Amino acid sequence: MAPRSASLPAFQQRQVISEPDHVYGELKQSFMIGEFEPGQRLTLPELAAAFGTSQMPVREATSRLVVARAIEAMPRRSMRVPQATVERLDALLPLRLHLEGEAARLAALRPDPQLARRLARIDEEMRAMVPRQDTKTYLRLNQQFHFEVYRQCGNDDLVDLIELLWMRYGPLMSIVRSGVLSKTGQVRHAEVIEAIRQGDPETARAAICGDIAEAAEAIRARIATDKATPAHLKTE
C-alpha cells in the first residue's frame, strides 16, 4: 500500500467560501476520485502546507472526514486512509448498488437528450485515457459521468448519500488501472447513455449496477493479488 511519502493532489485555491469549507471540499473531491491511496498516511502540517494555510482549517476539515469515515485518526495527530480489504469492499458495495441504482432509475424517468450528449462526450474522453494509462484523469471523468446521471434524479438527499459513499470508496478504485476498469465500463456507460436517451429506468438501473459490480470484481482481484504478493516484490 502507499508509503507515507505518497504525493498529495494539486488542490485548488480558495474562492469565496470559508477556509475550512474550501479545504473540506477539496479533500472530499480528492477522496471521491481516488487521489488518495489505501493506507496512505496524512499529517496536519503536510496538508496545511499543500493548501498554503494554517493547520486550524485543515484540522476542522479532517475532523469532518474522520466523522464521515473517509479517514482514520491515528496517534501523534496523524491520519490514515483505510486499508483496502475485502471486508471494506463488501460493506460498501451493496450500499452503492442500492443507492446508485435507484438514482439512475429516477434519472431515466426524466429523459434529457442534452444530458445524454454530455455523457457521451465524457465517455469519449474516458476512452482516450485508457491507452495513456492515465488512471487519475480516468477516475475523475468516471466520477463526472456518474454524478451527471445522479444529479438528474431530482433527489438531493440521495445524491448527498452517494457522495458520502464515494468518499469512502474512492481510494479502493485507485488501486486498479484504468485499462482494467474500462473493459466493462465502456459497455455499461453506453447502456446508461442509451437508457437516459430513451427514458428506460430499469435499463439505466441495471447498467449502473453492472458497471459498479464489475469494477468491484477488478478491485477484489487486485486486493487478493496484493495480499498474496510478498512486500519486497510489490511495485507501485
* The domain over range 19-80 is classified in CATH as 3.40.50.300: no
Residue 122: what pLDDT? 97
pLDDT interval class at 191 (50, 70, 90): very high
Residue 159: what pLDDT? 98
Residue 27: pLDDT above 80? Answer: yes
Question: Per the CATH hierarchy, to which homologous superfamily does domain 86-228 belong?
Answer: GntR ligand-binding domain-like (1.20.120.530)
Q: Where in the chain is the domain with CATH 1.10.10.10?
A: 19-80
* pTM, full prediction: 0.86
Cα dihedral 69, 29, 56, 75 in deg (nearest 10)? 40
List the single range of 9-18, 54-63, 126-135, 144-153 with lowest mean pLDDT.
Answer: 9-18
With CA atoms as reference, report the closest residue to 172 among 28, 25, 35, 11: 35
Q: Given the DSSP bridges, would you call strands 72-73 and 41-43 parallel, antiparallel or unpaired?
A: unpaired
Tens-digit pLDDT profile for residues 74-131: 987 789 999 999 999 999 999 999 999 999 999 999 989 999 999 999 999 999 988 8
